Amino acid sequence: MAAKKLLIVESPAKAGTIKKYLGSDYTVMATVGHIIDLPKSQLGVDVDNDFEPKYITIRGKGDLLTKLKREAKNASKVYLATDPDREGEAISWHLANALSIDPSSACRVTFNEVTKSAVKAAIKSPRSIDMDLVDAQQARRVLDRVVGYKLSPILWEKVKKGLSAGRVQSVATRLICDREEDIQNFVPKEYWTVEALLTDPKSKKSFEAKYYGTGGKEVELDDKAKADAVIDEVSREAFIISKIKHADMQKNPPPPFTTSTMQQDASRKINFSSYKTMQTAQGLYEGVNLGTSLGGTVGLITYMRTDSLRISAEARSDVSGYITDTYGREMLRNREFKTKNNAQDAHEAIRPTSVRLTPQLVREKLTPDQYKLYKLIWERFVASQMASAVYDTTTVTVTAGKHEFRASGSAIKFKGFTVLYTEGSDTAEEKAKKLPTLEENTEVNLKSIEGNQHFTQPPARFSEATLVRELEERGIGRPSTYAPTITTIISRGYVARNKKQLLPTELGMITTDILKNNFEDIVDVEFTAGMEEQLDLVAEGKTEWKHVLSEFYPDFADNLEKAKAAVEKIKIKDEESDVVCDKCGRKMVYKIGKFGKFLACPGYPECKNTMAIKKGTGVECPKCGKELVEKSSKRGRVFYGCEGFPKCDFMTWDKPLSKEKCPDCGGILLKKQGRNAKIYCQNEKCSYERKSAK
C-alpha cells in the first residue's frame, strides 16, 4: 500500500473540508493555531544576544506534535498549508523545523479560498517557505513580547495587578482617551439658520429654501440679532426664482470588502462586533456543508484577512456573467479598484468563491449570523461590478432683495447598483427631496419663515466601526489585529462599551497618562505607524528583522529605568456594587480578570469570596423555583442554569422566555436559535411548539 501524502492546516474545520476534496490519498491534519511559540512564563527573548527568541512547544500541544511527527515520517510528501499570511507562514516554518523538513524545499502551499479547484491547484504548485514573511512575523512577535513583558510589571507595581500594555492596544486606547478629552474640552459655538417655506403659485406645491448669503457669497449668522435682521428684511421683499441648475450626478458603487470595511459595515448594518464578524467570516471561509446538490462542503468566501481590493480574472468573469444574466448588460460595469499604497496585497478582496451561490440559495444551510454576513459580502461584491446610480439633481437660487436662499432636490434617474446594495454610514445623512417644477424669473409665495438656533457639536465618540477605520487610516496594526485589539482593550477594562460607543474608563485614562508621560513612543500614533512600515519592509526583504529591534530597544530600555523611579503609585478605587458578600457582609466590588468582569469582596485577603456577575432572565427554574441566570461555558458559549447550582443542576442551551408561558400547560417556553429555530415547551410531557424567526 502506497504511503499517503500529509497536508497540514491550522483549523480542524478547514481540515474536514479539504479532506473531502483530496480523498483517500491524503491525510489532512490541523495544528489548531500555533504549536510552537514563545513561553508564557518568561520573556523568552534574549535582549542581550541579538534578540534571539526562545521557542518552545506550547503547553498542551505536545501530543499533537508527536502525532504530526509520526504522520510526517510515514508520509510520501508533506505539504504545509497553514493560513496565507505572515502568521501562517511562521507556523509553517516552525512546523518545518519540528518535522525535519527543509524550509527551502517545495513544501508550502497556499490558497485564497477553500474550494476544490483552488486547493488542488495550490498542491500542484508548492513553493519554499518565504523567510521574509516569517521574519516579519518574528519581528512583530518579539517586539510585542518585549513591550508587553517589560512594561506591564511597571503598571502592576504603580497602578494595579493584572494590567497589560501593548504597542497596538495602547495606541488604540489613547485614541479613545484623546477623543474623550476633546469632547470634555469642547466649547460649543452658537450659529443660526433661516429657513423659508415657499409655495409655487402654479403647482401649489411647497418647498423649503435655506438662507445662503448676499451677492453669491455665503454669510454666517452667529447670533439671533443677525438672523432676525435677515428675516425682517426679506419679509418685505418678493421671492424670485433667479437661477435653476440641473445636473446629473453619478454615484459609484463601493469596492469589495477588505477586513476593515467588512468590520465597519457589519457593525453599522447588522450590529456585529469586530470579533463576531471575524469569527463568522472564519466559518464561511473554512467551509459549510451545502448538501450534495450544491457541491457538498465548500468555503463560501475568500480569505478574510486582507487589505487588498484586487479581484481575480476568474471572479470578474463569474460576476460579469451573473449580472448580465440577472439584471441585463446595461447593469454591468467591470471595475478595478486601486489598493492603498501601504496594503500588503497578498490576497484578493473578500468576495464569494462563487457568485452563483446566492445568499437565498444557501440560506437554509447557514446559521442566522452566517447568512447575514454572507449576504453582506455577496451583495457588496456583486454591486462593485454594477453600473453607477444616476440622480437628477436640481439647485434653485431664490432672491429676496439683496439676500439669497437656496433649495436643492434630487430624484433617482437610474438605480444602478443601488437595486442591490447601499453602503452604511456612521453619520445621519439628509435625504434630498424632489423639488416642484419651477421656472426662472418667476415669483414664489412666502408661506412662513423662521430662524433656528444651533450649536456646533463635539466630535463623536468612537464606535467599533469608526475606531477600525481610524486605525486603518493611521496605519496602526494590520487586518489581523483590529478585532483582537478592540477585544483586548475592553476585556482589560481600559475601555467600556455603551451601546455602540467606546468610552475610556478611569483605568484607561490613568494608564494612558502614565504611558504618554513616560513612554511617548509606545502610545505615539506616528511612531507606531512607522513601526508597521518597518515590519512591512522586513516582509519585503528590504531590512533585517533584528535591526528593527536593535533600533527600538535602547531608548525603550532607558525609559523603563526612568519610569521605575519617576512614576508614583496610584490607587484606583474599585467600583462598588449593590451585592452584599454572603460571607462577611461587605458590599462587593467589580474586578476585571482573565474572563472579564466579576464580583469580589473588598476585604481581601481576609475574605477571598468572589462571585460571577448575575444576568437574570426573570424566569423561575422548573426544578426548584429559583431564578434561571445566563452563564457562559469555558469555551464562551452562552447557556442558562439555575442560580441554585450546584444544589440544582437544571440547565438549557436555549433561551427561556420571560413574558410568555406555554399556552397548553403553563410551563416555561424556550427559544431555539439556528436553522431549525422554534419556540417550544420545556416540559417533556408537553408537545407544544411553534416556528420562530431566526
Domains of the chain (ranges; CATH) run: 5-129 (3.40.50.140), 138-185+460-566 (1.10.460.10), 190-252+389-455 (2.70.20.10), 259-384 (1.10.290.10), 573-613 (no CATH), 627-694 (no CATH)
In whole angstroms, what is the distance from residue 134 CA to residue 541 CA? 11
- For 471-514, the pLDDT digits (tens) are 999 999 888 889 999 999 998 889 988 878 999 988 899 999 99
Q: Which candidate, 12, 36, 266, 263, places its Cα nearest to that of 114?
A: 12
Residue entry with cell 450546584: 646
Q: Residue 393: what pLDDT?
A: 95
Residue 592 scores a pLDDT above 70: no
Band of pLDDT at residue 612, cut at 50, 70 and 90: confident
What is the residue type of 688? Y
β-pairing verdict for 5-9 and 26-30:
parallel
Q: Residue 416: what pLDDT?
A: 95
C-alpha cell at 262: 467588512
Q: Residue 614: what pLDDT?
A: 76
Cis ω for the linkage preceding 605 (within 30 of 0): yes
**What would the mean pLDDT of 273-301 be, rounded to a whole number?**
92
What contacts 632, CB < 8 A, 6 or more positions away?
595, 638, 639
In whole angstroms, what is the distance from residue 138 CA to residue 147 CA? 14
**What would the mean pLDDT of 345-358 be, rounded to a whole number?**
88
In whole angstroms, what is the distance from residue 359 CA to residue 148 CA? 43
C-alpha cell at 40: 508564557
In whole angstroms, what is the distance from residue 478 CA to residue 472 CA? 7
Q: Residue 500: what pLDDT?
A: 86
At residue 642's C-alpha, the angle toward residues 640 and 646, to 5°, is 120
Q: What is the DSSP letter of 4?
A: P
Q: Residue 492: what pLDDT?
A: 85
Helix orientation angle between 167-185 and 482-491, rounded to the nearest 10 degrees: 70
Residue 693 scores a pLDDT above 70: no
Q: Range with the lowest mean pLDDT among 142-146, 350-354, 365-369, 613-617?
A: 613-617
In whole angstroms, what is the distance from residue 230 CA to residue 213 CA? 10
Q: Residue 594: what pLDDT?
A: 53
Element (DSSP H or E) covering residue 535: helix 525-539
Residue 325 scores a pLDDT above 70: yes
- Ramachandran region, residue 191 (left: φ > 0; alpha: ψ -120 to 50; beta: rest): beta
- Could you give the C-alpha distances from 202 to 68, 238, 436, 444, 629, in angstroms and in order? 84, 16, 10, 9, 66
Q: Residue 7: what pLDDT?
A: 97
Give counts: helices (H), strands (E), the chain.
17, 30
For 302-333, give the secondary structure using H, E and C: ECCCCCCCCCCHHHHHHHHHHHHHHHCHHHEC
Band of pLDDT at residue 346, cut at 50, 70 and 90: low
Residue 659 scores a pLDDT above 70: yes
What is the residue type of 159? V
**What would the mean pLDDT of 378-392 be, rounded to a whole number?**
96
From 211, 212, 285, 303, the catalytic residue: 303
- For 245-268, the pLDDT digits (tens) are 999 999 999 999 999 999 999 999
**What would the mean pLDDT of 54-80 be, rounded to a whole number?**
95
Q: Residue 556: what pLDDT?
A: 92
Residue 218 scores a pLDDT above 80: yes
Q: Which candidate, 417, 420, 286, places its Cα nearest to that of 353?
A: 286
Q: Look up the pTM and report it.
A: 0.81
What contacts 117, CB < 8 A, 6 or more positions away?
none
Q: Range with the lowest mean pLDDT among 49-53, 61-65, 404-408, 592-596?
A: 592-596
Residue entry with cell 497540514: 8
Q: Residue 572: what pLDDT?
A: 73
For 160-240, where are the alpha helices, taking DSSP H only?
Answer: 167-185, 224-234
Q: Range with the lowest mean pLDDT among 190-204, 211-225, 330-344, 405-419?
A: 330-344
Residue 233 scores a pLDDT above 60: yes
Q: Are 495 and 489 in contact (CB under 8 A)?
A: yes
Q: Are 375 and 366 in contact (CB under 8 A)?
A: no
Q: Which candidate, 487, 485, 465, places its Cα nearest to that of 476?
A: 485
Q: How many residues belong to the chain?
A: 694
Q: Which candidate, 582, 636, 651, places its Cα nearest to that of 611?
A: 582
Band of pLDDT at residue 422, cut at 50, 70 and 90: confident
| Catalytic status, residue 303 | yes
Q: Residue 3: what pLDDT?
A: 76
For 159-273, where are the alpha helices, taking DSSP H only?
Answer: 167-185, 224-234, 259-270
Q: Residue 118: what pLDDT?
A: 93
Q: Residue 631: what pLDDT?
A: 80
- For 27-42, the pLDDT digits (tens) are 999 999 999 999 999 9
- Return the percentage of the chain with pLDDT > 90, whole number: 70
Residue 270 scores a pLDDT above 70: yes
Output the average pLDDT for the chain. 91
Q: Residue 103: what pLDDT?
A: 96
C-alpha cell at 328: 441585463
Q: Residue 478: what pLDDT?
A: 85
Q: Residue 147: what pLDDT?
A: 93
**What would the mean pLDDT of 300-320 be, rounded to a whole number?**
93
In whole angstroms, what is the distance from residue 687 CA to residue 666 CA? 12
Q: Residue 427: what pLDDT?
A: 56
Residue 616 scores a pLDDT above 80: yes
Between 396 and 481, the more confident residue is 396
Cis ω for the linkage preceding 458 (within 30 of 0): no
Band of pLDDT at residue 102, cut at 50, 70 and 90: very high
- Could you give the C-alpha distances from 127 to 10, 512, 520, in angstroms and in order? 18, 45, 42
- For 523-558, the pLDDT digits (tens) are 899 999 999 999 999 999 999 999 999 999 999 999
Q: Residue 672: what pLDDT?
A: 86
**What would the mean pLDDT of 618-645 be, rounded to a whole number?**
82
Residue 95 scores a pLDDT above 90: yes
Give the 3-state secondary structure of residue 524: coil
Give the 3-state secondary structure of residue 321: helix
Cα of 103 vs its chain's centroid, Å: 34
Q: What is the DSSP letter of 157?
A: H
Q: Which candidate, 606, 495, 37, 20, places its Cα nearest to that of 273?
A: 495
Residue 626 scores a pLDDT above 60: yes
Between 427 and 438, the more confident residue is 438
Band of pLDDT at residue 570, cut at 50, 70 and 90: confident
In whole angstroms, what is the distance from residue 103 CA to residue 130 CA? 8
In whole angstroms, what is the distance from residue 47 CA to residue 195 CA? 68
Band of pLDDT at residue 432, cut at 50, 70 and 90: low
**What would the mean pLDDT of 664-673 be, rounded to a whole number?**
89
Residue entry with cell 512575523: 137
What is the residue type of 503? L
What is the residue type of 320? S
- For 124-139, the pLDDT digits (tens) are 999 999 999 999 999 9
Give the 3-state secondary structure of residue 93: helix
Q: Residue 61: what pLDDT?
A: 95
Q: Which candidate, 677, 628, 632, 683, places its Cα nearest to that of 657?
A: 628
Residue 430 scores a pLDDT above 60: no
Give the 3-state secondary structure of residue 631: strand
Q: Residue 530: what pLDDT?
A: 92
Q: Residue 365: what pLDDT?
A: 94
Q: Phi and psi for 467 in degrees, rounded to 5?
A: -70, -45
Q: Residue 303: what pLDDT?
A: 94
β-pairing verdict for 5-9 and 77-80:
parallel
In whole angstroms, what is the distance from residue 71 CA to residue 27 CA? 8
- Return the percentage of the chain with pLDDT > 70, whole number: 96
In whole angstroms, what is the distance from residue 135 CA to residue 89 CA? 9
Band of pLDDT at residue 375, cut at 50, 70 and 90: very high
Q: Residue 466: what pLDDT?
A: 95
E strand residue ranges, 432-575: 443-455, 495-498, 501-504
What is the residue type of 286? E
